[in-house]
Amino acid sequence: MGTALVYHEDMTATRLLWDDPQCQIECPARLDAALSGLRQCGLEQRCFRLSARKASEAELGLVHSPEYVALVRGTQALAEQELQALSAQFDAVYFHPRTYHCAQLAAGAALQLVDAVLTGTVRNGLALVRPPGHHSQRAAANGFCVFNNVAIAAQHAKQKHGLHRILIVDWDIHHGQGIQYIFEDDPSVLYFSWHRYEHGRFWPFLRESDADAVGQGQGRGFTVNLPWNQVGMGDPDYMAAFLHVLLPLAFEGGYHLESSAHSVCMTVRALLGDPILPLSGPMVPCHSALESIQSVQRAHAPHWRSLQQPDAASGTCSPPLPGAVACETAAAALSSLLDRLRLRPVPPVLTAAALTVPGAARLLPPDVLCQEESAPREETEAWARPHEALAQDKALTALGKLLYLLDGTLDGQVNNSLVVTPGPAVAATLDVAIRRGLSRGAQRVLCVTLGQLDRPLDLADDGRTLWLNSKVEEAAAPSMFHVRTPLPATTGGFLNCVLGLVLPLAYGFQPDLVLVALGPAHGLQDPWAALLAAMLQGPAGGRVLVLLEEESAPRLARTLALVLHGQAPPSLGPFSMASPEDIQALTYLRGQLQPQWKMLQDPSRGPLPGAPCSQLCASSQPEAGPGGDGAAHQPPGAGR
């Protein structure tokens, strides 16, 4: 199974026929630029190509009224003046004789992708469509959107494939109110949207775009709006939203053409399993972002156990810090963003595994390299000499392969890897890996360890390594770079620990290399270990080496290899709340570490200063982002 790419050249046929500054940014060049970017980066040919089909009128009727479908169908026979008059009846919409055909293809592309994924034909995919859809409502076009492609696809997935829980994440500068209206009383669809709001002063100027719009009737709690009330939200702000709102809920239950093309390319790279570009810049969420997140948590706490904080403060965030750094021009801000999005070469080896059991190659997925080469014997023995536990042949062999893979990772030849070694040798092997990584040019190494693994006594506490250990009985933070926490006993406790401690520290540290060690008596369930390995691929751009004691192999080794290679982790099973003891330990550690690690700021736990939003100044236009045109009071720049 691979990654599907669904589109159809005919979707460029609809275009504006008269002068309308409000609508002129929705043009065929949007689709052309995205496709051109994929081709230039060599991504299109790596995908499984699906040509979009037209959605039937019955399929359009899954969310739209028969009268509205008939109205759009009738535009095929209208003259230009009639099209213009009809368009004027809607907000930021234009019709063309080919609009109906294109909109049928756009909806059909979404349906075709859903079918391909849910039947196992492909693992994932991207439908590249126009006209967009997320503003479209049951009986009205809106914001360039004709048929609500995503809503139609969700209803289709429920009716044809029997799905009972669907998550829609709407990433756009504008609120997708059309999707919200369609599903606001439906508890089978969790709709999450983050969007520019500015306290209601940004299009579509709706009160129901705010955080306290949580759904209606049985659907209360299943509409989640995260309104950005200040421009210039950056990576730390979105990461805070992921960790504090989106991921907890998910586990529990005019366009700038160049930036749009880069966004599409980065999305396809992620779907293909390519290394993720690491984030850059200070990881400090701004005050306005924390305030918005706090509003969402407060509105949804009655509906979601994962957002309920027993000791949460009821106050609001403190006033923002002064001195925001304004960008000189919008062009400079966009240039900086695109520089970070430049594609880097994909390593020749995506995932390699070095196992200690006979016939190891048969245990691994077909596309995972079974590592046979090692570092030179003399070099391996020199690194092993200070450690008695590495004297055994099996441990020494594993160390040689680890050194080879570690060098390949830092040289850009290997993206990630898994090494299995005897349990008594895990601690010593990890110690060598840390020192080897630092000696080979890694500036910051993150070590996430589970089990009976103590931090080396002679490891300098100089900020070049961050040591996180989960197994000990008591929570402790001997320094900002040395953190110990008990291993939670429940799924909810584990997720709280990962989302509330491990990932904020990892992204705040911004490592060049991540080492994950599962030592003796690590106690981690296979799905937990897989999820941890998957989530830790982000902070260092995919450069992850997992060290596993051999008693957990081969079953866990195969699971970890699949996840490192891009397959989704296995299900965590039913959600269970964290124990009071786990919550207390996590709260204690966050309180101890928060002054040094700003990504640990949790808006639900009382007043926090945050930082000024400084990625883009308020006057900088256009605003760079997935699908956004950035004009302060301009109708939509994108849709789904």
**Residue written as tokens 């095929």?**
76
CA distance linking residue 482 with residue 472, whole number of Å: 13
DSSP state of 167: E
153, two tokens: 């696809």
Query: In this structure, what DSSP letter does residue 18 have?
Result: S
- Tokens 């690194």: give the residue: 383
135 is catalytic: yes
AA letter at 187 = P
Using CA atoms, how far residue 287 sits from 193, 229, 239, 478, 609, in Å, is 20, 10, 14, 29, 6
Residue 553 DSSP SS3: coil
Burial 442-455 (b: 16+ CB within 10 A, else e): bebbbbbbbbbbeb
Single out the catalytic residue among 64, 135, 175, 522.
135
Structure tokens of 559?
């699971």
Is omega for the bond preceding 132 within 30 degrees of 0, making it cis? no
Residue 27: half-sphere exposure toward Cβ, Cα within 13 Å: 15
CA distance 408 to 168: 38
Quote the crossing angle between the two packed helices 393-410 and 426-439, to the nearest 10°.
Answer: 30
C-alpha to C-alpha distance for 390 and 384, rounded to whole angstroms: 6
Distance CA 335, CA 333 (A): 5
CB 129 within 8 A of CB 106: yes
* DSSP category for residue 424: G
Residues 403/436, Cβ–Cβ less than 8 Å: yes
Asked if residues 579 and 488 have their Cβ atoms less than 8 Å apart, the reply is yes
Task: Please count the other Cβ atoms lying within 10 Å of the Cβ belonging to residue 372.
Answer: 11
Estimate the crossing angle of helix 29-40 against helix 257-272, to 10 degrees.
50
Catalytically annotated residues:
135
